[in-house]
Structure formats: structure tokens, C-alpha cells
Amino acid sequence: MSDISITPPVEKAPQKKAISPLRAAMLDFASSPLAMIGLVVMVVMVLAAIFAPWITPQNPYDLSQLSIMDNNLPPGSESFGGQTYWLGTDPQGRDMLSAIIYGLRMSLIVAVTATLCALAIGMAMGITAAYFGGRIDTLIMRVVDLQLSFPAILVALILLAILGKGVDKVIIALVIVQWAYYARTVRGSALVERQRDYIAAARGLGLGHARVMFRHLLPNTLPPLIVVATVQIAQAIALEATLSFLGVGVPVTEPSLGLLIANGYSYLLSGAYWISVYPGVALLVAIVAINLVGDQLRDVLNPRLRR
Amino acid sequence: MTAVLQVENLKTHFFTRAGVVPAVDGVSFSVNRGEVMGLVGESGSGKTVTGFSIMGMVDKPGRIVGGRILYQGRDLANLREREWQAIRGRHIAMIFQDPMMTLNPVLKISTQMIEAVQAHVHISKQAARERCLATLARVGIPSPAERMDAYPHQFSGGMRQRVAIAIALLHDPEVIVADEPTTALDVTIQAQILAEVQKLAEGSGTALIWITHDLSVVSSLADNIAVMYAGRVVEQGRAATVLRHPAHPYTHGLIESIPSRNKRGVDLAQIPGMTPPLLDLPQGCAFRPRCPNATDACRADQPPREMPTGQMARCIHPMRESEVAQ
Amino acid sequence: DTLRIGLASEPTSVDPHYHNLGPNNALARHIFTPLIEQDAQQLLNPGLATEWEAVDDTTWRLTLREGVTFSNGAPFTARDVIYTICRIPLVPDAPSPFTLYTRAIAGLEAEDDHTLIVTTDGPAPLLPNQLATFGIISASVSGAEDEVSFDTDGCTGIGDAPASAEFNDPAFAIGTGPYTLDAYIRGEELRLTRNDNYYGDAPAWEQIVMRPLTNAGARVAALLAGDVQMIENPPTQDIARIEGDGFVISSGLSNRVIYIALDQGDAPTPGIAGDTNPLQDARVREALALAIDREAIQQRLMLGLSEPAGELLPAPMFGTNPDRPAIPYDAERARELLADAGYPDGFQIVLGTPNDRYINDGAISQAVAQMWTQVGVQTEVDAKTFSAFIADRNGFNFSAFLAGWGAGTGEMSSPLGALVATRDPDRSLGGTNFARHSNPDIDDRLVEALQTVDDAERERLLREASAIAMDTFAIVPIHYELTTWALAPGLEYEARADQYTLGFAVTQAD
Amino acid sequence: MTEALLEIANLSKRFREDHDMAARLAARMGMGHEPATVHAVDDVSFSVAPGEVVGLVGESGSGKSTIGRMIAGLLPPTHGTIRFEGADITTRNRAETTAAALQIQMIFQDPMSSLNPRMRVRDIISEAPVYHGIITQSQAREFVAQMLERVGLEPTAGDRYPHQFSGGQRQRIVIARALAVSPQFLICDESVAALDVSIQAQVLNLFMRLRRELGLAYLFISHDLGVVEHISDRVVILYLGRVVEIAPTDALFSDARHPYTQALLAEVPRLSFEKRRFEPIKGEIPSPMNPPPGCHFHTRCPFAGPRCSREVPRLRQDGPRAVACHLEDGGVA
Amino acid sequence: MVAYLLRRLGQSLLAVIAMAVLVFLGVYAIGNPVDILINPEATERQRLEIMERMGLDRPLWEQFWVYFGNLLQGDFGRSFVYGESAMSVILQRLPATMELALFALVLAIVLGVPLGVIAGLKPDTVGGRSIMAGSILGFSLPNFWQGLMMILIFAVFLGWLPAGGRGQTTEFLGMRVSFLNLDGLKHMILPAINLALFKMALVIRLARAGTREVMMQDYIKFARAKGLSHRRVVLVHVLKNIMIPVVTILGLELGSMIAFAVVTETVFAWPGMGKLLIDSINRLDRPVIVAYLMLIVFLFVLINFLVDLLYSVLDPRVRLAQRGTQ
Ligand SMILES: Nc1ncnc2c1ncn2[C@@H]1O[C@H](COP(=O)(O)OP(=O)(O)OP(=O)(O)O)[C@@H](O)[C@H]1O
Ligand SMILES: Nc1ncnc2c1ncn2[C@@H]1O[C@H](COP(=O)(O)OP(=O)(O)OP(=O)(O)O)[C@@H](O)[C@H]1O
Ligand SMILES: [Mg+2]
Ligand SMILES: [Mg+2]
């Protein structure tokens, strides 16, 4: 670098505090009370799910703790052991409150793991397709098209029928039905971003492909993806619940919310509403909370609707 | 000659979460029949908002908070939406900057023109169509009958802007507000549009408010010029006067920073600093922090004053004749 | 005078010989009559044959009912019977053909239009029961020639045997039953109209409409909402409510036992760690049997709609030991037995189970798992849909599994022969013995019983065999299912052990 | 003339519609269309001397940006050579690429879109020098401050994000980023078109100053003749992908030879003190997908003759100037 | 256009083949259908006989080869359970599902679009917010749970509507349909709403987002500047533009609606293809499963194609020939 000293008129930039786009988005997010409620509920649920073993009165997945002599008790009943079942028990004699918290945990584990895996795969595929274009793009997108031309529920249904039950299998099925969706979303926004001059500038500065893809392209395709991912987590929870309802989801001994609902479904008419209704409410609250958060994120992260 | 349109102390503010944005804050001017009035200013100075205020199309969170808009003596500022609809397009029409965006992409040109006719006069579709054809021919569209049923995307940018102009002309309005209609066009096409507009204005006696950030464009088109800065008109008067003898230091700086005015290889005369954000305007004259002539007296509000050369300027330290380099 | 019935599972065809499956057979009873009928307790009654007698060990004489006509007016004769038995092996693509019941037949001779001589290739004590399983179709409608003669290597004069799908057409589904087919809209409904040519008592209903409502909740809701007047298998937990609303519940012991099979084949066995198979030890099997609280299951899960079992068929069915009580619950003894057998700390085991096949099957398995875990055998439940379960079971992938067995013939030879007898394809024994139990004492008695036409002798042999099986815990029965129907107020239906829903047997109480 | 810093010869770029198998099959069956080709740049040659500013002028779609991007190595040329300091940079291998690529930097029109909105200004400026090992991470802060100062921004600007700056300031950040790898040659693609006049003047002055102080050479792409006149030493005029005229700035503005150049000069709005009549050239710019034969301009040219629609005019060198017009080369007849 | 057709055809063929292979192998892996279908009392010899008759005793690749060969001749094989051609078993059920899905689709559009537009025009009002809150609820309620609740409320507690099944049908164009008689309609309402609710929420969101987006476009401002009434602006200019995304997405969603009918049909005992699929999976009726999925893929492709056609009608900018290359 040459040593010529230059003394141009140094200009003062506006005296605003340096807030990152992230902080700005967070402030925007907080502007909706509904979304904040959603966020709080979501956080509480995640905490409950994480700390389930410590906060629940019973481990509903441990058979030796269950007794069918306590089954189908209405909310508020007392067990042989003298503890109270605040939300009643199910046909296996599980404490519904514990079952719901564990079910939530199961639902969240399945949905979040599946979404993250699908996201990672989809993102890598989508970015690669958009960045390199040409044949790679065509190839990846054909596979994506192919995947998307099968309805998710059916693919999951068939897959699980083939793979059999199990948490891991449900996750695999969810990843398989979701990744293409992310790939397409990422590619869509990455194609737009790729046209922007900062990508050309980065290449002009001699930065490697990997760096341009992951340092420049990726972060800028994230916002729409975050929105999609939040909504997809909610969808994944619902899909898992549906699959469990159809009898191809998680194993009966480790019920998720969906399976709890399905188990209780046959008891609805007989008046044992609590077996199905409470997990249903929990599921609903969980999905609504996530969707509320996702919705607000969508508004916050969409620059076009920003005032 | 009486003014067709007279804007008096117009104030249009936006009430945003971050605060009140005085996008237009006391703008006054008037246009006469057949005259072209150039409204010049840099980005964000409030030109478009002024134009929309005249059309009664300021959207939430914006509102006209003061002043009058007199159209042939009638105050429009407090009209209800229905009454505005009767005026828009018929008496006062508007043309927008980007010809690619002003026509609805999914509707045929004919649909968009005929609906504009039928919105104001109750005539048959056929009659409306005739009228549209005639108007398209006026703005220099070759074989309009064949092209009228096309969709906007089948037209080039220049052609689309002509269609937009034709739509504005459908009812021979008394006033046309043209918001940077040639900025997005190529030089040769811009010249064509300017030529057409010039002919039309002269022929029909329509008053034209030509909004632009490019002084060069209005210099050869406008009778009068108003220069806006941060929501206010800082200088206005006959075009020749304002350009030849700019009184306000901002106008002066603007003229001086046009490259072709300067010698090659020599630094351009430049206005230091940048436009202040509207949410955080300095007290008094908004140009004060960038002004070479500024004194403490500029901290007070500057009403428009008449200058010796005849124009009006909001400045107590106007440029002296000798400082205005030719 | 229309009876609407909500079916728990839909018949797959109207052809009475296509699929040997409860719903199909029940439907077929409405349109086609068998030679011999079974009553609600599966006892044999005259059908199209008014009499049957064993002339000797391998010859039977059947007297056919006179004056019977098909619904199209054609007379019923021995030719139709011969034709029907000839057609059974020829049904194309039958997934579960009735040849099971006709394979013993070596010859058929019509002495006259209404007398039939049946010869078998060996003693066939079960022949009448077998002849009760299929309806007789019309030879003429099916395109047979005037002269039909039977031959095990291929009958003559039968023309082209009709495909099953043809029976779905009312014009083709011609039988001698109380009803004729009106319309068969698969998945939606089946409409039957009373057959005025029926030889028996005219049933109460002008029309019967059957709607498959496979979802239990939907079925109950349809009953409660008045869409149907009768449903099969209302879920146990809803029965109280249904009765509370004034509906009628009809239930009775079925021929189905729910059992747990314990793999006694080679060590190691899947799902149990180590290279020994504790289940080969009868003490372990006994412990597991005693650890199950059958009463708790009956009370808490089945809500009374089951009968704790001590054998594979409820008394007083043929071949049962009426004095054998249900296996008692004795957790203490179970722990002792486990300790005796060398497993004081128990072991780990996987219990396979279907969860959509038998009443509360998944829940029962989980309850059993709880109980076993409580005596120290850590049990994990592997619940699957029936199809997946079957694949695993038939692949010997379970060391313990829960399943059910319904005795179609209504006698002990059926469960013993299928579940307990040593696996032997050549003798058609042990076909479902996926526990690989093998005991010659049982096998010998069973084989002998199957050759004995004398009922008393046969029953003695079967009782002995059953007692041995139970004493050695060759298999662990849990309970007999009760079959249940729910009906609109004022209707009556006698519960049937074969679980068939017969609309014509529904009567108005008044 | 000294040895040229940049020399491009017979440079062409064709964009071809990407036809997949189905489209090819359809075309084979006679029911589709052959892939359309855009001759974005057609046989363009010119050179830039060290420290020289060459203006590249043309209307929308004439291929200005495409030329810029090819020189910057962002697009491979279809045909022709680009020599930088004598070395052909279209066929260089990867190691050389990086070194040479850094010598040529491009500055785009829209300063917002050319800055990664998710990076701080500091990282934007220091990323490439650190990546290429020109400076170490620990030197970055100091270095960025230096660069910011050079383009007339406060050093504290490094802590902020692009959206917190005005258009003119963003363009300075873009320039600072380019300068950070010590280039010799800047391609400015409409770099001031998005700026207000008063800000445009600031940025133009900055370009001029950098040229003086660092001896940079520029290819200055613009459709604004006023700007080009002010800043360039020589001007290249493009029409539909072809060079129609090359001349030193003064000569061009006083005496344009090509009819298109003449028309352009006549129609550029200039500050005048009187109203004037506009007398535009007729017609529109033809589509580059389907350009007219012969001289591309003949459809709009007031002097066109039969030869113009037949024969492509040669770019004839005449001293420091060059024109591609039959009028200059034996008449249009 | 032809290229587009060819491309679509190629893709679909690929999809169908992939589906056939995967499902064929997959179902084979689950188990042996004969074990489920056969009467448990049957002998081993009988079992082998049946397997031989159904071709299940041959090695997998050979089975597939035979199947595939028949497929090329349009033979989808016979259902193991019903003994009839698998395709005809499915086609018998097709009208019920299609009827349900289309009815739901109409519900979703007819209710969703106006609500979405209202929410988009007035995003900050109580009404607009409630619509959005409602749509989140619609989005969140898992299909089956919502169905259960509907049965519980409307069929069991209130007794207004039947709990399940299809009700009376009428012959129409050679198909049995329910919507032509009261009983049929009554049976269809709950399942249709159940199927529609999620899509309705989706439509509301799409319409709202579209409306907000479109309302900010210049061409809407220009339409207003022509003096058009608010009504016309919304009903013509806005609506036609938002219908583009709505139609595209809904078209695709019709496919998923048909697929999701699996759940609704299970809950409401609706005798459609979805329920058939579940039954077939449970019984390992491979020909039916494979044929069903191929039919679904085919429907998907067909619907996509129709959507594309519709899309090009709605949006004149789109030419089919150019789609897909992008
Ligand atoms: N809807 C709005 N909400 C808040 N502020 C607004 C809104 N619309 C315009 N403004 C503000 O009003 C001011 C004037 O805007 P206007 O569009 O009139 O500028 P302009 O002179 O036309 O600029 P340009 O040359 O960029 O078109 C700007 O600072 C802008 O931020
Ligand atoms: N990636 C591409 N694919 C296809 N055609 C392209 C591509 N890039 C540019 N073109 C075409 O090449 C021609 C020249 O484009 P270019 O961007 O170089 O023009 P320009 O002179 O920079 O125009 P502008 O003033 O509008 O920026 C145009 O017709 C354009 O449509
Ligand atoms: Mg503007
Ligand atoms: Mg360009």
C-alpha cells in the first residue's frame, strides 16, 4: 500500500447507536404483544420439555411406575399411593400431566431434530444449486421436484409403514419429506441474493467459493428460512401427531402428544375426555405459540413490509 | 392569467412509530394554464409526497395536516374520498416515475384505459375505446388499434410511459402531475417523451407540474421552478432567473455540482455533508449545517423572501450576484 | 323396516367362496345358505341339508331339503351342491380359499336330486362342521352344464367358473338365503332386500343396509346419532355410555382366545440378552403366566367384556375341560419360580403385539408388560399394526408375542392343532406354532382325535391334550373375548360365538 | 503511447438460452424454437493506459456492464482476449487469477446491494485483505481506519452496518473495500448514477482524488454524458454491443463523428437557461436478441443508405480516434 | 409449449417410475400379504399354493419385472384383497375423494380470499387482526383433532350433522356424488370443512400478504390516480394480481388435499381413496398401494399442469415455453 497521505474532509456519519440488524429485528419483534405471548409460551414449553424428568410427578415411559389399577381416572383423582392425578390418567394408568409433558418433549424432540436435519440438508442443497447454477442446479432441482411431487403425508405414511415404528424412524421420515421444501426455499432466496452485487464484489475480491457461499450468501438467505423453519416445526409437530394418530408414529410406550390424543380418541365418547382433550390442548397451544412467533418473524424479517 | 392550481402552505406529515415525519412542511406554489412548473429537489425532499397530496392520495400513516390546495379556487384539502375520485384522473392527473411499474401487468392496456374513461363519463365501451385510440395516437403510439389489446409487458419502457401519459390525457385534465416520468428511460427515449410532452402542454393548455431531481431536464422545459429541500420550497421563481441567479446557497450548490458545468479534471464544486434526516431536522433553516453562508441568524425560521432578481427564496444570506460563478 | 348396520370391517367380496374371512362369511349367510347351519353357539343345525349321517368312517349321506328355490326361482338340487364344491378350488386369486374345508372330500355322488353321498379320503369327523362354512351357489346362473360330476382331478360340466368380481353384481349373486343383493358400493354401503322365495321364516326386515364404519368412534357416533340401528364391536369404554343412552348391548362369549406365546425354540432367542433361552424352562413360563393379573385386565381394560382363560377355548365348547379354572394371579409365586429357575433378578424381554387387531390388544400387552416388569422381568412392548406384526412373528422375531385365535370349527382341535402341535407342514399341524413348542404327548392325542369319528372318544382325547398343554404352560392364555353388538332401543340380537353379524337374526323386541 | 495497462481485443459475449433435453427435443420436432442468443458484446476492442480514465457510454442493454464484468473476471468471455499488464487474464490459472483479480476491482451502481447487509463495515473492508494474507487480523482495525479515512469517513464507521449509512457514504465504503486490496484498475459501473447530484459530486471528486494520489486507471461506465465528459480522458461509445466510436473526450464532445454519438450529444439534457425544443431521434433501440443487420444503428439513422443495412461498418482507426460508420468509410450508397 | 409438455412428461414419468419402484420394494419389505389374508387354519401347502398363484414366491426382481411389464400395458395388477383390477378398485373410490377435495377447495377459496383481502386492506384493525388470529388457529389445529372435535360437537352433542360416512348419493355424469341431495350434502359438510380449514387459513394468509404487497405497487396508485373507485381497484386490480399466487399454491394444495384426505377420510369414515390406502397398507395390498400412489402422482402432475395453464391465463407475462428453464 502506498504511503501517500491523504487528508480528505472526514465526514461524520449519523450519530445513531450501532445496532445490529439482529437487535433491530428483536426490537421490532417485541412490538407485537401476541407474538411475545407466543414466545413466552414457547420458552416455557421448551423448558418444561427439557426438564421433564425433574418436574413431572411420574415417568410415564417407565412401566414399573404405572399401574393399570389406576387407569382412566378423572382429573383430580388420587392414586393408590396417595398422589393426585391433576389431569387424570390414561388407559395404562399414566398420569396425564406427566404424559403430556413427556409427550411434548417427545413431540419437540422429533420436530426440532427433524427440522434441523432437513434444514441443514435443504440449505446445503439449495445454496449449492443457486450458487453454481447450470447442471448442478438442474440436477438438484429435479430431485427436489421429484420429492415434492409426492404428498408429504403419503410419503411419511408409506415410509413409516416400511420402516416400522420408532422415534428415529419418524425423524427420518420427517426429514425426507421436508428437506426438499427447504432446498427450494433456500434456492429461491439464494438466487435473488446471488444476483446482488455484493456477491459479485466478493468474488471480485478473490474470495473462495466456500467462503462466498457460507459467509455471504448463506446469512442473507437465512431470514426467510428462519420463518419457514419456525412454521415447519409447527407443521412437523402436527405431522408427527397425525402419523401417530394414524398408527405409524412413535411407539405406544413412549407416546408423543399426537399418540396421546390418538389413544384418548376412542375414549372421547365415553366421557373420559381428559385423555384426549388435554394433550390436544397442549398440542394446540404449542403449535399456536410457534406459529405466532413465526408469523411475527415473517413480518419483522420481510423488509418489504417494514415501515 | 389565473392559477389553475394553487398550493398554499401545504403540510403533509407521516405519523410513524419513530415519530412525526414532516415530509412536506409548508410548501406553496401555483401553476397557470399551459405553464410547466418544475419541482426540483434531491431524494427525500418531499417532491413525491407533494404530488400525492395534490392528488389526495396520501396514505396512512400520512395525513395533510395543514394548508390549502386550491383547484380553480376550490379547496381540495378536505374533500372526502368520493369527491376526490371525481377529480382524480379527470381534472388532475398523474404520471409516475417507473413505466415498468405503473401499468397493471395482468390487465390489457385497453382494459386499463377504458376503465379510466368510464370512471368519469358514462359512455359506451365502444365510444370509450374510440377515445382511447385517439389519445394513444396523440402521444405517438404507432398503429394504436392493433396494440391496444396487448398487455403492458409487450411494450417497451418508452411505449409504456406513453400509454401512461395517454391515460393521464384521456379527460384533458387541467393539471398533470408528472413525477419523474423520464428518469428511468434511456437518453434517446427520454428526449422523445420530453418532446411529446412539450407539444401536448403547448397545444392543450394543460398545466404541468414536472417533478424531477435533475435540474438539467427542467431547465429546458419549465417556465417556473421550485427547489425543495427537506420538505420545504427553498427557492422558486421563473426558471431562467432561478438558474441564472440562484439566490439560495442550496440551489447554487446544486447547479454547481452538475459535472458538465465544471472543467474536466478540476474538482467539482460540492455541497459538503448530506441531507439531514427528516425526523431530526436542525432548527431554523434546514440547510444551515451544510451552508457556507450560515450564521446564528439562520437558527430562526426563514420565511420566503423576494430576491432582487425577482424570485422568492427562504434565506437571509442569499448568494450575491458576484458569488454566482457562471 | 330397514335395518341399518354399521360394520367394523367391510366384506371384500360378495362371492361366498372368495375369502374365508368373518365379514365375508357373515355377508354370505344373508344371500347364500350352507348345507349345515351353525347356531349362535356354533352347534350344527339343518340348513340346505336336513339330515347328515356317517355311513362308515369315510362315507357320509346328506339329505337335501326339498322345495327350495333360488331367489331367481330356479329349484335347488344336488347339482348345485356338487357345482359349488367343484368351484371352490377354482376361484381365481382367492387369498384364503375354502379348499381348507373341502380338501377331505374324495367323491361326490348324487343318488337323486336330493340325496348326496360324500366320500372322504380318510376318517373326517369334522366334515359336517366344514360343510357349515360355505354357502351354495346356483349352478345354472354360474354357467354350468346340466350334468355336473365331481372329480378331485377336475370336475366335468362346470363350464367357466365365474370370477369373484361377478358376484358383486346383483344379477349374479343368486342364492337361497333370506336376502338378495340390491347394491354393493364398495367402501360405502351394501344393500340387501328380503328374498320372498326364502324357504325359512321370513325375516323382519324388508331391507338391510350395511355400512362399513371401520373407525370405532365414527361407528358409535353413527349409532348415537341414529344413522344406523346396529353396530358391531362398540369399543369397551363406550358401552356404559351407549347403554346409558337407552341403547341395547348384546354380548356373548366368542370362540376367540387371547394368548401369549413364549418362544421355546433354540437359544438365543430374539429380545432376550445372553445365549440362553429362559423360556425353555417351564418354571419361567409358569412364572410369566402367574404374573398376569387377568382379573385386573378384565376389570380395568376390558370393562368386564372378557372372561379370564385357563384353556384355549371357553367351556362348554367341544374338547374343553369344564373344571379348569382361569390361571390365577400370584406374583409372589411367580418371583419364587423365577428364582428357582435361576433368574432371581429376572431378565429383559420384548413383548410383540399387534395394536389394531384384537380388542384392546395394545393396551393388554402394555398391562402385561407392567405386570411382568413388576415381578422382575423387564418388558418392553413392541406394538405394530397387524401386517407388520405378522411379518415379524412369522419371521420368528419375537421371543414373546400376544395374539388371538378363533376356532372356526368350534372345537379344541383347532387351537391345539394350530398353536401347540409340533410344526409339521406335511400333517398340516402347528401352522401357527411360532413358539416352536413341541410335545409328542400332545401331538399323538391330537392326531388320533382327528381320525376319530366317534364324538365321545374324540372329546376325551382332546381334553387330555389340552390339559397337558396347559399344565406345561406350552402357551399362556389370557382371556376369551366377548363379542358385542350395540342396537337401537327395542332391537334384539343373540350374541354369536362366531362373531358374525346376521341382520336377519335381529328382531324387534316389542 | 506507453504500454497499455489493459487491452481487450475482439471481445464478444453471447448469452444463450439454456435449452434442456425437452426443449431440444421439441426444437428437433419442429415444435419449439431454437435457443435464442443475445449478442450482448460483439467484437469489442479498446485499451486503457496506466492512469487513464476511459469512459464507456451507451444506452441500456448496449453491453456496458457485460464488458465490465468480463474484465473483472466475473463472466467468462465467449470470444476474444483481455490482457492486463500484458498477460492474458482469460486463460490464467487459479493462483494467478487471484493476484490479477485483485488488481482489477469493480464498483457497482447500487451501493446498497453491493454491501453485504449482515456484515459490519469493518469486516466488509478487511475480509479480503485478511483472507489473502495482505494483513493480519490484528492489523485489521488500524487498516480499516486508514481505508475509511482515505475515502473520507470517520474511523468509527467501521463498527456500523451498511444500512446505517446514506447512499453516498455507502458508495465510499464500497470504494474503501476495493482499495483495501490495492488495485491498479477500477471499473466503475454506473457508480454514481444512483446518487443525488450533490452527493454525486462528492463521490466523483473522491474518484478524481484517488486517481491523482494512487495513480489508478478507470473504466468509467455511464450513460450520463455529463459525468463522462467530466471525468474521462477518452470515451468509448457502444451501441447494441458494438463500439461505434472511440475518441479523446475533448475531440468527441466538440466533433462527434458517428450519427449516434451526435444524436446522443444533442439529446442529453444539459443545464440551459432557456426553454428549448427537443428534437429526438426517432425509433427505439432494437432488441439485442434480434438486432438489425448491417450497421445496428441504421434503423434510426438519419443518414442511412442501402449499404448500412447490408454491411457491418468497420471500426476505422484515425489517429487517436476511431469510428465505425460507412459515412467515414466510403459512403452509404 | 411443446418443450414444456415434454419436460413435464419426462418429469412425471420419472416420478411415476420412482414411485413404483420404491413402493414396490417397500411394501415387499413389510411382509407377506398372504400371511395376513389367509385363514390362520390354512395349511402350509395351501399357503404356498396361494403365494404361487399370486406370484409372490418368485424372487423380488422377477416380481417387479412382471409387474412392470404389465404396467407398460396399462395393467396395474389385481388387488390381493378384492381380486379385482387394482386400478378399478381405486377408481371406484375416486369420485368420493375428488368430490370432497373439490368441495373443500371451493370452500377454502370462497371464504378465504375475501377474508384475506379484508385482512390485507386493513391490517391494523380489530377485524384484520382477528382474521389473522383465526387463520393461525386454522393453521395450527391438526387436521384429525379438529375433525374429532367437530364430530364431538356437531354430531354427538348437538346432533345437527351425521358423524361420518357418505350418505345418499346421486348418479351424475356416471359418477356417484353426494352434493346433489340434502342427505349427501349433510354428510359432506363436516369432512369438507375439516379438509378445508387448513387450506382456508393458507388462502387467507396468501391473500393477505398478496394484498399488502400489491397495494404498495405503483400500478395501484396509478389506478387510483385515474379516479377509479375503491371497489374497482380492489375487485379488479388487486384481486386479479393476488389470484396468481393463490391459484398457484392452491393448485398444488389440491394435490395435497387429496393426499390429506387420508386423515379426514379416516376420521369421518368417508369412503374415499385415502381410506382405501390405509386399509391397503394394513393389509399389504401391494397392487392397490402402488396403483394408488401412481394415480396420486399422476393427479399431481395433471393438476400442476392445469395450474400452469391457468397461471398463464391469469398472468400474461408468463409464457409456458419459458417456464422451467429458470
Ligand atoms: N409512508 C411513509 N411513511 C413515512 N415516511 C414517509 C412515507 N412516505 C414518504 N415518507 C417520507 O417523506 C419524505 C419525502 O418523501 P418523497 O417520496 O416525497 O421524496 P422525493 O422527493 O419524492 O424523493 P425521491 O427523489 O427519492 O423520489 C421522505 O423522507 C420519506 O422518508
Ligand atoms: N446473464 C445474462 N443472460 C442473458 N442475457 C444477458 C445477461 N446479462 C446481460 N444480458 C443481456 O445482454 C445485454 C447487455 O447487457 P448489459 O447489462 O451489459 O447492458 P448495459 O449496457 O449495462 O445496460 P444498463 O445500462 O441497463 O445497465 C442486454 O440485452 C441484456 O439483456
Ligand atoms: Mg419521489
Ligand atoms: Mg449495466
* Distance of alpha carbon B206 from alpha carbon B174, whole angstroms: 5
Segment A137-164 shows an average pLDDT of 82
pLDDT at C295: 92
Closest residue of A to E124, CA-based?
Answer: A32
Phi, psi (deg, nearest 5) at residue E171: -80, 130
Q: What percent of chain C has pLDDT over 90?
A: 41
pLDDT tens-digit readout, A6-51: 334 444 444 444 456 667 777 777 777 888 888 899 899 899 888 9
Mutate to test the pocket of ligand 1, among B39, B45, B234 (most ligand atoms within 8 A of CB): B45
- Collapsing DSSP to helix, strand or coil, B24 comes out as strand
Q: pLDDT of E166-176, one tens digit each?
A: 777 777 777 77
d(CA B31, CA B37): 6
* DSSP assignment of D33-73: -PPPEEEEEEEEEEEE-TT-EEEEE--TTSSHHHHHHHHTT
With a 6 A CB cut-off, is B18 part of the ligand 1 pocket? no
- The CATH number fitting domain B3-91+174-325, selected from 3.40.50.620, 3.40.50.300, 3.30.43.10, 3.75.10.10: 3.40.50.300
pLDDT, position C36: 93
Residues of chain B below pLDDT 50: 326
Confidence of residue D271 (pLDDT cuts 50, 70, 90): confident
∠ CA E201-E203-E205, rounded to 5°: 70
Closest to B56 (Cα-Cα) out of C276, E227, C370, A145:
E227
The CATH number linked to A241 is 1.10.3720.10
Write out pLDDT tens, residues C458-483.
999 999 999 999 999 999 999 999 99
Parent domain of D140: 1-15+46-232
Beta-ladder partners of C5: C210, C230
Residue of A nearest to C369 (CA): A63
Give CA–CA dist C254/C407, Å, rounded. 9
pLDDT of residue A133: 84
Q: Do C301 and A66 touch (CB under 8 A)?
A: no
Considering the domain architecture, whether residues D152 and D184 belong to the same structural domain is answered as yes
Instruction: Confirm if D94 and D132 have CB atoms less than 8 A apart.
Output: no
Q: How far apart are CA C179 and CA C25, in angstroms?
A: 14
Whether A contacts C, i.e. 3 or more CB pairs less than 8 A apart, is yes
Could you give phi then psi for residue A291, rounded to 5 degrees?
-65, -40
* Interval A78-132: pLDDT, tens: 776 677 888 888 888 888 888 899 999 988 999 999 999 999 999 999 999 999 8
Cis before E191 (ω within 30) = no
Low-confidence ranges of chain E (pLDDT < 50): 320-326
D16 touches chain E (CB under 8 A): no
Residue C217 neighbours by CB under 8 Å, 6+ apart: A265, A266, A268, A269, C235, E148, E151
Inter-chain CB proximity E34 and C20 less than 8 Å: no
Phi/psi of residue C46, each to 5°? Answer: -60, 140
CB C40 within 8 A of CB C53: no
Determine the structural domain holding residue A245 and report its residue range: 101-306
Least Cα distance to E79 among E108, E29, E37, E47 occurs for E37
Cell of C121: 379320503
Alpha-carbon distance of C404 to C479, in angstroms, equals 9
CB-based burial label for B229 (10 Å; 0-12, 13-18, 19+): buried
Nine-digit cell at C443? 401331538
D22 vs C52 pLDDT, higher one:
C52
Judging contacts by C-beta atoms under 8 Å, the chain D residues touching residue B271 are 198, 201
Cα A54 from chain centre: 24
DSSP output for B107-172: S-HHHHHHHHHHTTS---HHHHHHHHHHHHHHTT-SSHHHHTTS-GGGS-HHHHHHHHHHHHHTT-
Phi-psi region of A121 (alpha: psi -120 to 50; beta: other; left: phi over 0): alpha
Q: How many CB atoms lie within 10 A of CB C88?
A: 22
The packing angle between helices E182-215 and E239-268, to 10°, is 140
Compute the distance between CA of residue B301 and CA of residue C179 in angstroms, rounded to an integer: 103
Cβ–Cβ gap D26/E325 under 8 Å: no
Whether B292 and chain A come into contact, CB under 8 Å, resolves to no
Minimum CA–CA partner of A28 in chain B:
B17
Q: How far is CA B81 from the centre of its chain?
A: 22
Q: Verify cis geometry, omega within 30 degrees of 0, for the bond prior to A224.
A: no
CB-based contact E10 D21, cutoff 8 Å = yes
Does D288 contact ligand 2 (Cβ within 6 A)? yes
Shared domain for D64 and D205, answered yes or no, is: yes
Ordered alpha helix ranges (H), chain E: 2-30, 33-37, 44-54, 60-72, 86-121, 126-140, 143-150, 182-215, 218-225, 230-232, 239-268, 273-283, 286-314
CATH code of domain E93-325 = 1.10.3720.10
Q: Domain count of chain D? A: 2
pLDDT of residue D93: 59
Quick one: CA dihedral C463, C468, C470, C471, positive or negative? positive
CA proximity to B43, closest of B213, B272, B171: B213
Q: Quick one: angle between helices A152-163 and E2-30, nearest 10? A: 30
Residue B258 CB-half CA count within 13 A: 23
d(CA C148, CA C300): 57
In chain E, which segments carry CATH 1.10.3720.10?
93-325
The C-alpha cell of C185 is what? 358400493
The DSSP-derived string for C164-203 is GGGGGSTTT---SSSEEEEEEETTTEEEEEE-TT-SSPPP
Ligand 1 atom at shortest distance from the alpha carbon of B97? 27
Contact E243, E303 (CB under 8 A): no
Residue D119 lies in a domain: yes
Could you write out the three-class secondary structure of E6-69? HHHHHHHHHHHHHHHHHHHHHHHHHCCHHHHHCCCCCCHHHHHHHHHHHCCCCCHHHHHHHHHH
**pLDDT band with cut points at 50, 70 and 90 for residue D322:** very high
Is there a domain that residue D37 lies in?
A: no
- Quote the cell numbers at residue E310: 391457468
pLDDT of amino acid B1: 54
SS3 call for C141: coil
CA neighbor of C49 nearest in space, from C31, C68, C30: C68
- Pairing status of strand B232-238 against strand B312-313: antiparallel
Q: What pLDDT does B305 receive? A: 86
**Count of domains observed in chain A:** 1
Q: How many Å apart are CA C30 and CA C179, to the nearest integer?
A: 5
Q: Which residues pair with C260 in a beta bridge?
A: C402, C476
pLDDT of residue C311: 92
Q: Give yes or no for residue B38 CB within 6 A of ligand 1.
A: no
Report strand pairing: C400-406 vs C348-354: parallel
Q: In terms of domains, do D199 and D265 share one?
A: no
Residues of A in contact with B272 (CB under 8 A): 9, 11
In whole numbers, what is the pLDDT of chain E averaged over residues? 82
A with B: how many residue pairs have Cβ under 8 Å apart?
9
Are D309 and D161 in a shared domain? no
- pTM of the predicted structure, to 2 decimals: 0.83
For C350, counting Cβ atoms within 10 Å of its Cβ (0-12 exposed, 13-18 middle, 19+ buried), the class is buried
Closest ligand 1 atom to B49 CA = 18
Residue C365 is predicted with a pLDDT of 92
The single-letter code of the amino acid at C150 is F
Identify the pLDDT of residue B323. Answer: 60
Are residue D216 and residue D263 in the same domain, yes or no?
Answer: no
- Strands C230-232, C476-487: pairing is antiparallel
For residue A90, give the nearest of A272, A282, A248 by alpha carbon: A272
What secondary structure letter does DSSP report for C299?
I
Q: Looking at the domain assignment, is residue A71 inside a domain?
A: no
In a domain, D163, yes or no: yes
pLDDT for D204-252, tens place per residue?
999 999 999 999 999 999 988 888 999 999 999 999 999 999 999 999 9
Using the 3D structure, point to which of D232, D264, D284 is the last residue of a domain. D232
pLDDT in tens, C241-273: 888 889 999 999 888 999 999 998 877 777 777
Cβ neighbours of D274 (radius 10 Å): 10
Q: Is the pLDDT of residue D27 over 50?
A: yes
C-beta B47 within 6 A of ligand 1: yes
Same domain, D93 and D218: yes
DSSP notation for D105-166: EEE-S-TTTTS-TTS-HHHHHHHHHHHTTSS-GGGHHHHHHHHHHHTTB-GGGGGS-GGGS-
Kindly state the average pLDDT of the residues C111-138: 89
Q: What is the CATH number of the domain that holds D4?
A: 3.40.50.300
| Residues of chain E contacting B174 with CB distance shorter than 8 Å | none
Residues D80-135 have pLDDT tens digits of 999 888 888 877 555 666 677 788 999 988 888 889 888 889 999 999 999 988 89
Domain borders along chain B are: 3-91+174-325, 105-170
